[in-house]
Structure 1
């Protein structure tokens, strides 16, 4: 799951890394952006539907500093943005982001695994927070 492409900058002056249309209707968007690079790392931010960017991880700023970050906008019936990388640590961690069309809200689930996820399974009874 590697997303490569031409990056562009937003009105916030940040570089856009990924842009994904979420939900079953593709009616909502999430952008992953980066700013303030140091070496191979940068601070990563999320923006939903054009809102003000917020750090990908709350708390200390360095928790949002990522290296070796990969993204995938995945799914056929429903789109999900999966982000993984080394954020403030030397192991892979990340988040899967979705828009729950039925509940009309953004949802997020975090993970920390030895290897990057190879699949995302969505089913109706699941509830993300």
Structure 2
């Protein structure tokens, strides 16, 4: 994976697959931490128990709100069918923009580093 130019840090949670290199290297691949090193990107690990610091948790919150907004269009209160859920998730996926993702990272950065200058690549256009 190649990061966009100018990115020097990435916010990463402490999920075992982000930290452990064994799974990839055992099969001849490159470990996650080695990928960061090769890209000259510093992983900035999010402390456990602080979802507001984690951009993916913000995505999950956005997705949950999106699903709640769509619930009346897709079923009568009896629950989601697998096909309905798939359709709405694919629709939601198409609505996630680069600017939304940047906003989640910007928000996380501001929580983790209050008062610190926001990197150029995270600033709003």
Q: TM-score range by the shorter chain?
A: under 0.3
User: TM-score, normalized by length of structure 2?
Assistant: 0.23
The answer to which structure, 1 or 2, has the higher relative contact order (CA under 8 A, 6+ apart) is: 2
Q: Which structure has greater helix proportion?
A: 2
Structure having the higher Rg: 2
Q: Which structure has greater strand proportion?
A: 1
